[in-house]
Structure 1
Amino acid sequence: MPGLAQVFSDLIRYETRLYNAVGDVLRAEHGVSMGQYELLRIIGGRDDCRVADIAQEMAITVGATSKAVDRLEAAGWVSRRPNPENRRSSLLGLTPEGRRRLNTATKTFERELRVWLGDPLTARSLEVFAATLARLRRTVEDARAGMPTG
């Protein structure tokens, strides 16, 4: 059985390099950072998305999320509209340019995931790996561990 410290190290180093490698290609081909792509993907996948929803999903602070959304809005990729249920928050949506950018970048994102995640594993190994990661994610999320403060 491998040591847990080595498993942790391999997981973190792989995640970091995968994130950077995919991000480099997204930036070069679409002018979108990995972080921006993730935000566009979350906003584009939800009706009536709020900054707090993104912060919860990504386990980052509301302040950091709000600043990131401000940058997407300034780029013309995201729009805000008043939240009829809570005047203190806004609802986010993709602009036509944001939707176009997300759609074209998604093809590249999926291609790069196949190269770095799908191709090195057999279908069965990927299935087991996905189930294992989902279980581990649920474990920390159910425990509300690792949530940002502030």
Structure 2
Amino acid sequence: MASVQALKSRLRSNYRFFLPYRLRWADNDQYGHVNNSVYNFLIDSVVNTYLIESCGLRPTDPNPSEPIGLVVTSSCNYFAPLTFPEVVDLGLRVNKLGNSSVTYEVGFFQQGKDTVAAVGGFTHVFVHPVERRPTAMADTMRRGLEKLVIEETASL
């Protein structure tokens, strides 16, 4: 796991997939910046967009024999405020890809800026859809996720 200092130094080039999101008025809290719960919503949105577009996830037509991903941990570190009506570019990478789990990292970038405003993510564990026991992820899922893997070279 990267240190907070390493996360704060992330740049756009540290991510492999991007999804733009225009912040809504309702995303702001009473203090005039994006509420922390919205960050979790956006992390979930960019991950699932990628899984649908690149990994064979079919939430509207699931295969009852394929494993499902359950979130087992999540986090977010905040470095600079984001606010409506900015457009935020959500950068996605995979920090760890196991047999039955994957750890995603999402960088939040103000459009046109190269430094992160926040870094968050979560870990999916793939489980049997009925028994809810860890199982290997589907091959299509793994191949898509492999394209996002970025190995940490050094900790700051």
TM exceeds 0.5?
Answer: no
Which structure shows the bigger proportion of residues in helix conformation? 1
TM-score normalised by structure 1 residue count: 0.27
Which structure shows the bigger proportion of residues in strand conformation? 2
**Larger RCO (alpha carbons 8 Å, 6+ apart):** 2
